[in-house]
Amino acid sequence: MTADRLTILHVYPRQMGVSGDRGNVAALVRRAEAADIATDVVEYAPGDALPTTADVVVIGNGPLSAMRSLGADVTRVGAPLREFAADGVPVVAVGGGFDLATNAVVSSDGADVTGFGVFDARAVRGAERRVNYFVLETRYPLLGSASTRIAGFEDHATRIELGDGVTPFADVVSGGGNQAGSPVEGAIAGTSFGTHTQGPILPLNPQLTDGVLAAATARLGREYAPDAQRTATIDRYAREARATIDRYVDKAFKRIA
């Protein structure tokens, strides 16, 4: 963060951005504005020079074919992204981006993909396909007394195998989640989290956006305090959207054969 501007690094927006993932970046920008924090959004494409500094990193959803197309670039930038996370920079990885941020994406055809290694986990393809509304109780640190209940949508056929001692992102209220035995979803590493929750997740769950921005600004010695009046309208939209998911979550289809 320089000159009071928060740098948001959006990794592979073209290849890993098939589920409205720019909405997560937009939510961070709008929410920061409501706390009088200016932002710069930097997009990283394969082959570019990865910025040496960032305050939040966003990795969106994408198919296995996109991950394979990135080739050696994933290995090249994996170490710097791990360093960002280790230094307390929140990495928000969603859908296929979460898979890619684990140690490896294990494919049923044997052509595995080495991941960024931000999360000590493996993404094993070929699990039961889960396509449904998603309701969770997150374990990610939030501001004050903010509700831990979050909602969204999941669409994946991946089993997430967490390493020893890795904290899940959330406990599953309704949905498939990691599909590895326990009813949990995603992973947390410090101030970073990975999840298959789409929607996109941050606009649907402003309290989570606040948690990410609070972590990013605390690292820089700055307080994060959004103005409730300036966020009232988008908070209401998000609240109504989550209420609709809660209303229909048990009536929607749960899986695709």
**Res 255 pLDDT > 60:** no
The average pLDDT across 43-57 equals: 96
Q: What percent of the chain has pLDDT over 70?
A: 96
Domain annotation covers residue 256: no
CA distances from 174 to 138, 149, 154, 243 (A): 13, 11, 11, 14
The average pLDDT across 7-26 equals: 94
The reported pLDDT for the residue numbered 251 is 65
**What pairs with residue 7 in β-bridges?**
40
Q: Are 115 and 103 in contact (CB under 8 A)?
A: yes
Expressed as residue numbers, the domain containing 183 is 5-248
The average pLDDT across 229-254 equals: 86
Per-residue pLDDT tens digits for 82-93 = 999 999 999 999
**Res 2 pLDDT > 70:** no
Helix (H) or strand (E) holding 217: helix 206-218
**Separation of CA 208 from chain center:** 10
Global pTM reads: 0.94
**Is 230 annotated among the ligand-binding residues?**
no
What burial letters (b/e) apply to 125-158, b meaning 16+ CB within 10 Å?
bebeebbbbbbbebbbebeeebebebbbbbbbbb
The average pLDDT across 134-159 equals: 94
Q: Which band of pLDDT confidence, cut at 50, 70 and 90, is reported for residue 253? A: low
Q: Which band of pLDDT confidence, cut at 50, 70 and 90, is reported for residue 1? A: very low
Domain annotation covers residue 255: no
Half-sphere exposure of 213 (CA within 13 A, CB side): 29
List of residues 6+ apart from 17 with CB closer than 8 A = 60, 61, 62
- Beta strands 170-174 and 149-162, pairing class: unpaired
Per-residue pLDDT tens digits for 100-117 = 999 999 998 878 999 999
Domain annotation covers residue 128: yes
Domain annotation covers residue 183: yes
The average pLDDT across 146-170 equals: 95
The reported pLDDT for the residue numbered 111 is 86
Positive or negative, the CA dihedral 65, 212, 122, 253 is: negative
Per-residue pLDDT tens digits for 24-47 = 999 999 999 999 999 999 999 999
| Between 207 and 18, residue with greater pLDDT | 207
User: What radius of gyration do the chain's Cα atoms show?
Assistant: 17
CATH of the domain at 89: 3.40.50.880
List of residues 6+ apart from 142 with CB closer than 8 A = 148, 207, 208, 210, 211
Domain annotation covers residue 235: yes
The reported pLDDT for the residue numbered 32 is 97
SS3 140: coil
The average pLDDT across 191-198 equals: 97
The reported pLDDT for the residue numbered 210 is 98
The reported pLDDT for the residue numbered 248 is 81
Q: Which band of pLDDT confidence, cut at 50, 70 and 90, is reported for residue 257? A: very low
Domain count, the chain: 1
Q: Which band of pLDDT confidence, cut at 50, 70 and 90, is reported for residue 252? A: low
